[in-house]
């Protein structure tokens, strides 16, 4: 199911713990590294997926999603849109609950493959930015989070 609202994103972010970050770079100034480091610092277990490395951010790096020997909740993709359908099939084979396509990445075919297998699908959003927008943090950068609530922040 396509998820794009605050309540749906909040559910994904609170119910998930293990994130396979596909296309994670080992260079500290790359956006994928920024995002993965942020996720680690906010309690997520990050599993790097990139055939070019053996280890990133202190975690063993795997060549593909299906090569990961443990449970994966979210497959977070920093790859080109044309690679997304194949990645969606990998995410389905792995039994992940969420296929997350990063900012600038959309693929209706990948979304269809994942949704038909019962996965939640997020397109064209950064997991770090959405976490910071909804769970706090991004507000401090002056960003319009869209959150209107009279409940205490988390």
Partner 1 sequence: MADRRFGFDTLCLHAGQIPDAATGARALPIYQTTSFVFDSADHAASLFNLQTFGNVYSRISNPTVAALEERVAALEGGRAAIAAATGMAAQMIALLTLARNGDHIVAARTLYGGTYSQLAITFAQFGIDVTFVDADDPAAFRAALKPTTKALYAETIGNPQLNVCDIAALADVAHGAGVPLVVDSTLASPYLCRPLEHGADIVVHSVTKYLGGHGTTMGGIVVESGKFPWDNGNFPQMTEPSRGYHGVRFYETFGDFGFTMKARMETMRTLGPTLAPLSAFLLLQGIETLHLRMPRHCESALAVARHLAAHPAVEWVNYPLLPGNRYEPLARRYLPRGAGGILTFGVRGGKGGGAKAGERFIEAVQFLSHLANVGDAKTLVIHPASTTHRQLTEDEQRAAGVTPAMIRLSVGLETLDDILWDLDQALEKSQR
Please say which residue, 67 or 143, places its beta carbon nearer to partner 1: 143
Residue 55 or 109: the one with the smaller Cβ distance to partner 1 is 55
> In whole angstroms, how close is the CB of 38 to partner 1 at the nearest point?
5
Q: Identify which of residues 28 and 70 has a Cβ nearer to partner 1 in the complex.
A: 28
Q: Cβ-count burial of 101 within 10 angstroms (0-12 exposed, 13-18 middle, 19+ buried)?
A: buried
CB of 103 to partner 1, least distance (A): 5
The residue (of 77 and 88) whose beta carbon lies closer to partner 1 is 77
Question: Distance between CA 154 and CA 86 in Å, rounded?
Answer: 37
Chain positions contacting partner 1, by CB under 8 A? 4-8, 28-29, 31, 33-34, 37-38, 41-42, 103-104, 126, 129, 132, 136-154
In sequence order, the β-bridge partners of residue 121 are 2, 99
Give the DSSP letter string of 63-80.
Answer: SSSTT--S--SEEEE-S-
First-to-last CA distance in the chain? 26
* CB environment 8-32: b (16+ within 10 A), e (fewer): ebbebbeebebbbbbbbbbeeeeeb
Instruction: Write down the least CB distance from residue 137 to partner 1, Å.
Output: 4
**Per the structure block, which two tokens stand in for 94?**
């792995």
CB of 153 to partner 1, least distance (A): 4
């Amino acid at each position: 199911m396509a998820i794009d609202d605050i309540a749906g994103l909040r559910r994904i972010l609170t119910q998930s713990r293990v994130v396979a970050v596909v296309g994670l770079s080992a260079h500290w100034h790359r956006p994928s590294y920024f995002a993965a480091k942020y996720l680690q610092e906010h309690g997520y277990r990050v599993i790097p997926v990139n055939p070019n490395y053996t280890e990133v951010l202190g975690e063993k790096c795997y060549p593909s999603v299906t090569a990961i020997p443990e449970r994966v909740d979210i497959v977070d993709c920093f790859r080109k849109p044309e690679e997304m359908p194949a990645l969606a099939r990998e995410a389905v084979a792995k039994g992940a609950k969420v296929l997350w396509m990063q900012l600038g990445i959309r693929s209706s075919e990948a979304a269809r493959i994942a949704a038909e297998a019962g996965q939640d699908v997020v397109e064209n959003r950064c997991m770090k930015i959405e976490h910071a927008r909804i769970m706090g943090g991004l507000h401090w950068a002056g960003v319009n989070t869209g959150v209107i609530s009279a409940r205490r922040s988390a």
